[in-house]
Structure 1
Amino acid sequence: MSTEPPETAEDAEEPGTPAEDAQVSEAAQVSEAEAELAAQRVERERIERRKAEREGPIEAGGKLSGAAADLLAAVRAVESGEKPATTVFEEAGPAPRRPAPEPVRRAPEAVPGPVVPAAGAVEDVRGVLVQGGAPEGLAVQAAGVFGDEGADVLRADPWQLLRVPGVRPEQADGFARALLGAGAGPDDERRGRAVTVWLLEQAALAGHTVLEMAALVAALGRQGVPEPEEAVQNAIAEGDVLVFQDAVGEAGEDEERPVRVLVGLERYALAEESLADGLARLVNSVTGRDGADEGWERAAASAEGSAGELIRAVAGHGLVLHTGGEASLAEPAALVSAARGLGLRVWAAAHGPVGRARFAGLAEGAGVATVAGLLSGAEGPGRDADGALDVDLLVVLDAPQLDVETAALVAESLPDGARLVLAGDPGVLWSVGPGRVFADLLAARVCPQIASRRPDPGPLGELVSGIGVGELNQVAAPGKEVVIVPVRDAGEAVHRTVQLVADSVPRAIGVPAEETQVITPGHGGAVGTRVLNAALKERLNPGPGRFGGFDPGDRVAHSPAPGRTLPGRVVRADGEGLHLECGGEEIVVPRERVESSVRHGWALTAHQAVGCRWPAVVAVLPGDAVQALSRPWVYTAFSRADRHLSVVHGVEQALPRAVAEVTAKPRTTRLPVLLAPQVPVAEG
């Protein structure tokens, strides 16, 4: 049996992009992402709980029938204590559904180090893997997932191998047959539960926080689970997944309000509930008036246009949304300056270091961090005794990039009475992680929304504005701000891209190669990032690649955690690892982490490029990229350019069709429903 590494959330979001081709190393340690999650757990434990108890679930269900109605009745009976799980689900003796812990806010101290499995545990797991025909290279990763009892867990339930990232159901089936023999059938209850959890993990990679029951049941059927409804019931009874009932629409006469039944993993479902509680706390809090009403009004009156509207909205509300393109950043900058002038503790946070530097240039003297640095405590104002951030106002930029877990941590970290502004461009790609927080909040209309009237200037601004409303307009570009380069095939696309970066753009536009960014739809394929980066390295920085394929001077993309990409360059390599310069900071990537977290970065995907801008961008649209194109992808790629955009165009009419017709892929979330009973709909 061979395994593939897990698809990144970015690959799941952008169709047609293959999973990464990396082998699991024997020396693999717990990733920075896992360490960050561990730190978050410790931080959450230290925060005093501030949110009120949520009201009970919606009593509905009259519109359900068949398996969904039976499941809903069973869940209610188990949770109310009327019947034990064994009676309702007709099982021999499953464990009762475990109570879900209530998430609380976090504090930054006491970050634990990576938990490395004991050598004996790794060897025990390796033995079971070999017995089942699985790659030995999974031993360290599997031991990290299951702990010291990993070997016993896998022997008792071989399908638990699906919890190891990158393993697919057919591979776990082969492993189970090798261990269990004829007893490993598709109707095994253990298989149904494990595949249910695996499908919800795959849904999270595609951006969903939950799945509708019908969609989950259908997906289980496609995976060969003979009784999919029963498999979901078993997973609920064992506490592997959570079930929810959300009201939709309005009730008719003498009828109950219809509901939809949703199933989700505890991690994302509770993060979404925690986010709703945190946002409701901000919306409903009394912002204190600060004794500075006149100061707010003077600041608003002196600001221009929608900047004044933003200042007035923030003066009287705990949560405000601000939308606009790159030029609109001047308005949050004006807000930050006004609030600082009133003596408030103010910080801003951007998605990455490039965005942080750009905003710091607009809001001179203001505190600006990255979102990850703010939450980890590496950047920002620090925390008070209760674990809350020492701020009166927090402005989060690039808000569409907030996944549900990160957004929950932001909301939980704010003290009572603080103000939160979420600012961003709603036209760009959504977050790599699950959820569509900014879009859900815009749709829910639970707080003031200030739309900037400050358009991005010039031909590029005109082009991107049209794309945002579904129109691919031909714009006048007297200064060669926009250039279309038609190509016939993949080979020509690669050749012309290298030519543009290395020669044409520097010569005709005056932007050097190191300030020109290539953006392409995916990592794989004949014109993906791998092929383009290899060609660009050969032309711009050839070398032996003695350190994992990298040489000093290489442009790279470092991914310390899923959904976070730091563009940078290689400074040097030594015994410590690969030394990178990313956003003005030096980062050392240990040798064993280089292969999994560093790529060459002359060419990026649009998701990797979000939150950054470059003087020149070469957007590559090869013929095999048609399925990956959408309006948000085109909008994101084209809007990364400050001065010049070259479009290597090989998709013909698929480009205007994608802009006009292919909107963002739907994501199933609960945030608007969770906010509805807690927050009144804002007027206007």
Structure 2
Amino acid sequence: MAEPATTVPAEALDGARAVLAKGGAPEALAPQVAELLGESAGEALAEDPWRLLSVPGVRPEQADGFARALLGAEATPGDERRTSALVTWVLERAALQGHTALEAAALRAALAERTVPDPEEAVQQAVADGTVLVFQEGVEEDGSVTVLLGLDRYAMAEESLADGLARLVRTGPSDVWEGGELVRAAGAHGLVVHTGGEAARAEPVELAESARAMGLRTAVAVHGENGVRRLGPDAGAVTVADLLSGAAGPGRDEDGAFALDLLVVLDAPQLDVETAAMLVESMPDGSRLVLGGDPGVLGGAGAGRVFADVLAARVCPQVASRRPDPGPIGELVSGIGVGELNQVEAPGKEVVIVPVRDAGEAVHRTVQLVADSVPRAIGVPTEQTQVITVGHGGSAGTRALNAALKQRLNPGAGRFAGFDPGDRVAYAHSLGRTVLGTVVNAGPDGLHVDCEGTRTVVPRERVESALRHGWALTAHQAAAMRWPAVVVVLPGDAAQALSRPWVYTAFGRAERHLSVVHGVDQALPRAVAEQAGAERTTRLRTLLEGLLAEPAPQPPAPGGAE
């Protein structure tokens, strides 16, 4: 399927190109500028050159240079147009790291790093003109009040989500269902949280099957196509994106709500606050929502930590699965989850450690594993083996690894915008949703990619920004996916980026075989034991606690007894 094209008026494009050229900025940015600023994009950009910062990928120093080219000496560090744009840019950057708001001190410090002369005045001005909203979140032990600042889009989404979850709790059913703990909880409550690893995903799916057998309208939603494939056709799972768009799932009733009595959402840690708000807003009164996922994995891209906040607020029943992930990989990952990197018995070579001295050797051994060792010794073909590393840059990041893997597995000149038929690619379909596929061919409409059996057309104008080679991914990209074999690459310069959630996520993507290309020495066990991962500043927990102050109800005992 092709993405819908966004129509931008020719006049807006021409106006944006003219101003960009005058300021020495790439004219290729014109479509994005015109889409963001509308029909008068050229005039708006000429009046306020720092609005260029609203284009994804543009950095403050680039916007400053553009402004100086247009305004000359008038382009000063303290210009209100600049400080306002920087406030928004800092908060949007924070959202990409998961924050829905920042403490006032953190925002001021970020502005100071960007040479804003008076960060406090800049913040006050941003509040006065409505660029940001102010929230007071709790009282500290010394009597001080924590002040948070956030953009209205995330504030509105978080508040809407909290209201919607509270509505489900309050209007939920109180039926007595016979069965296990999850079944009993879902029968009696409008909102339930289920936690566990990969094997535990079967429990919410079994719940959905039981609900269907009772005649209830039921759907199972997962993060991406990889999750749909793993559950198999009998589960009838759809992606969250397709459910929201109406491309799959039960459709909506006359009021615009999902035509559902029960919705099971797996991979819930990957939900950002805006997507979660849209899901919950679509749930009808009196329906049931089960959020399932593994709290140990890395949170999704985008603002919020929805699953973690709902767990922390304790406003609904929480059912922890006792179903462990099997085998040596399951044992290894389970230990990592509690801060222990244990040696495990792997008689079938389920876990293999490959020590390396430097990044060059790490790349070489990775290619050797994917192209030869894993297919030959483990029996998993190359196309079912995924490489995971710490980042895109660096001497053993995704770019370097993908270049080496392409040269070995599918050499070519990259005649279609850097890609060849047969290339494995990672398509950033939207924020936080990476889809893996294989390039089929190219046409006038863009690059044709086979994604898990679905033909997708990546528009020409999006190929450069949204498509990468996909033999190697970051752990964040891979978080909601799994493969028969995984090669995790840990070069020496990766040590500072490691944390327990990162290692847990990366190692846990493997189903049958895990190879660890290991060059970080003791940094790996230290990260597992000591690095709990970066915290996200959010408001959802506080909002939920304020709306639902009563203690969370417990699942009814078997037979309905209290």
TM-score of Structure 1 vs Structure 2, range by shorter chain:
over 0.9
One-letter code of the match for 1:237?
A: A
One-letter code of the match for 1:213?
A: A
Cα distance per residue 1:499-553 (max 9 Å; x no partner): 1111111111111111111111111111111111121122122233322232222
User: 2:334 aligned to 454, 457, 465, which one?
Assistant: 465
Q: Indicate whether 1:583 and 2:469 are aligned.
A: no
Aligned-residue offset at 1:249: 5.4
Q: Indicate whether 1:164 and 2:55 are aligned.
A: yes
What residue is the counterpart of 2:129 in the other structure?
238
Q: Indicate whether 1:570 and 2:442 are aligned.
A: no
Task: Return closer, same or farther for 1:534/1:237 CA change in 2, 3 Å cut-off.
Answer: same
Distance, in Å, in 1 between the alignment partners of 2:153 and 2:321 is 35
In angstroms, what is the RMSD of aligned CA positions?
1.7
Distance, in Å, in 2 between the alignment partners of 1:612 and 1:193 is 39
SS at match of 1:573: strand
One-letter code of the match for 2:120?
A: E
One-letter code of the match for 2:262?
A: L
What residue is the counterpart of 2:205 in the other structure?
333
Distance, in Å, in 2 between the alignment partners of 1:417 and 1:268 is 26
What residue is the counterpart of 1:421 in the other structure?
290
User: 1:322 aligned to 190, 194, 216, which one?
Assistant: 194
Distance, in Å, in 1 between the alignment partners of 2:499 and 2:154 is 26
Aligned-residue offset at 1:426: 0.6
Aligned-residue offset at 1:498: 0.8
What residue is the counterpart of 2:365 in the other structure?
496
Aligned-residue offset at 1:677: 1.9
SS at match of 2:407: helix
Distance, in Å, in 2 between the alignment partners of 1:458 and 1:512 is 21
What residue is the counterpart of 2:557 in the other structure?
none
Aligned-residue offset at 1:173: 2.1
SS at match of 1:676: helix
What residue is the counterpart of 2:76 in the other structure?
185
What residue is the counterpart of 2:86 in the other structure?
195
Aligned-residue offset at 1:174: 2.2
What residue is the counterpart of 1:609 in the other structure?
478
What residue is the counterpart of 2:560 in the other structure?
none
What residue is the counterpart of 1:103 in the other structure?
none
User: 1:507 aligned to 362, 365, 376, which one?
Assistant: 376
SS at match of 1:644: strand
SS at match of 1:329: helix
Q: Indicate whether 1:549 and 2:405 are aligned.
A: no
CA contact (8 A) 1:346 1:367 kept: no
> Which ranges of structure 2 fall in alignment gaps of 5 or more residues?
555-562
Cα distance per residue 1:209-251 (max 9 Å; x no partner): 001111111211221112212111211221211111222458x
Q: Indicate whether 1:152 and 2:24 are aligned.
A: no
Distance, in Å, in 1 between the alignment partners of 2:391 and 2:62 is 26
SS at match of 1:322: strand
Distance, in Å, in 2 between the alignment partners of 1:588 and 1:334 is 35
One-letter code of the match for 2:12?
A: A
Q: When the two structures are aligned, how many residues end up with a matched partner?
A: 552
CA contact (8 A) 2:140 2:146 kept: no
Aligned-residue offset at 1:584: 2.1
SS at match of 1:652: coil
Q: Which moved more, 1:120-129 or 1:443-452?
A: 120-129
User: 1:412 aligned to 278, 281, 284, which one?
Assistant: 281
SS at match of 2:35: helix
What residue is the counterpart of 1:360 in the other structure?
232
CA contact (8 A) 1:444 1:681 kept: no
Distance, in Å, in 2 between the alignment partners of 1:542 and 1:226 is 52
Aligned-residue offset at 1:166: 2.0
User: 2:527 aligned to 658, 664, 683, which one?
Assistant: 658
1:639-658 to 2 correspondences below 5 Å? 639-658=508-527
SS at match of 1:667: coil
Aligned-residue offset at 1:115: 4.1
What residue is the counterpart of 1:129 in the other structure?
20
Distance, in Å, in 1 between the alignment partners of 2:382 and 2:490 is 20
Cα distance per residue 1:361-388 (max 9 Å; x no partner): 5xx2x43100010001111100001110
Instruction: State the identity %.
Output: 69
Moved over 6 A (4+): none
Distance, in Å, in 2 between the alignment partners of 1:258 and 1:316 is 41
What residue is the counterpart of 1:385 in the other structure?
254
Distance, in Å, in 1 between the alignment partners of 2:423 and 2:41 is 40
Aligned-residue offset at 1:178: 2.5
Task: Return closer, same or farther for 1:177/1:542 CA change in 2, 3 Å cut-off.
Answer: closer
Aligned-residue offset at 1:136: 2.5
CA contact (8 A) 1:209 1:264 kept: yes
Distance, in Å, in 2 between the alignment partners of 1:519 and 1:548 is 24
Cα distance per residue 1:68-114 (max 9 Å; x no partner): xxxxxxxxxxxxxxxxxxxxxxxxxxxxxxxxxxxxxxxxxxxxx65
What residue is the counterpart of 1:263 in the other structure?
149
Aligned-residue offset at 1:494: 0.9
> Which ranges of structure 1 fall in alignment gaps of 5 or more residues?
1-30, 33-112, 301-307
SS at match of 1:498: helix
User: 1:600 aligned to 463, 466, 469, which one?
Assistant: 469
User: 1:628 aligned to 497, 500, 506, which one?
Assistant: 497
Q: Indicate whether 1:282 and 2:159 are aligned.
A: no
Task: Return closer, same or farther for 1:550/1:183 CA change in 2, 3 Å cut-off.
Answer: closer
Distance, in Å, in 1 between the alignment partners of 2:88 and 2:112 is 14
Distance, in Å, in 2 between the alignment partners of 1:288 and 1:386 is 24
Aligned-residue offset at 1:581: 1.6
Task: Return closer, same or farther for 1:311/1:593 CA change in 2, 3 Å cut-off.
Answer: same
Q: Indicate whether 1:436 and 2:327 are aligned.
A: no
Distance, in Å, in 2 between the alignment partners of 1:533 and 1:477 is 29
What residue is the counterpart of 1:72 in the other structure?
none
CA contact (8 A) 1:621 1:650 kept: yes
Aligned-residue offset at 1:683: 5.1
Distance, in Å, in 2 between the alignment partners of 1:358 and 1:139 is 41
Distance, in Å, in 1 between the alignment partners of 2:18 and 2:529 is 55
Q: Indicate whether 1:539 and 2:408 are aligned.
A: yes
Cα distance per residue 1:117-165 (max 9 Å; x no partner): 3222222222222332323232222122111222222222222222222
One-letter code of the match for 1:120?
A: E
Q: Indicate whether 1:681 and 2:551 are aligned.
A: yes
User: 1:219 aligned to 110, 129, 143, which one?
Assistant: 110
CA contact (8 A) 1:288 1:417 kept: no
One-letter code of the match for 2:298?
A: L
Q: Indicate whether 1:313 and 2:185 are aligned.
A: yes
Distance, in Å, in 1 between the alignment partners of 2:418 and 2:6 is 29
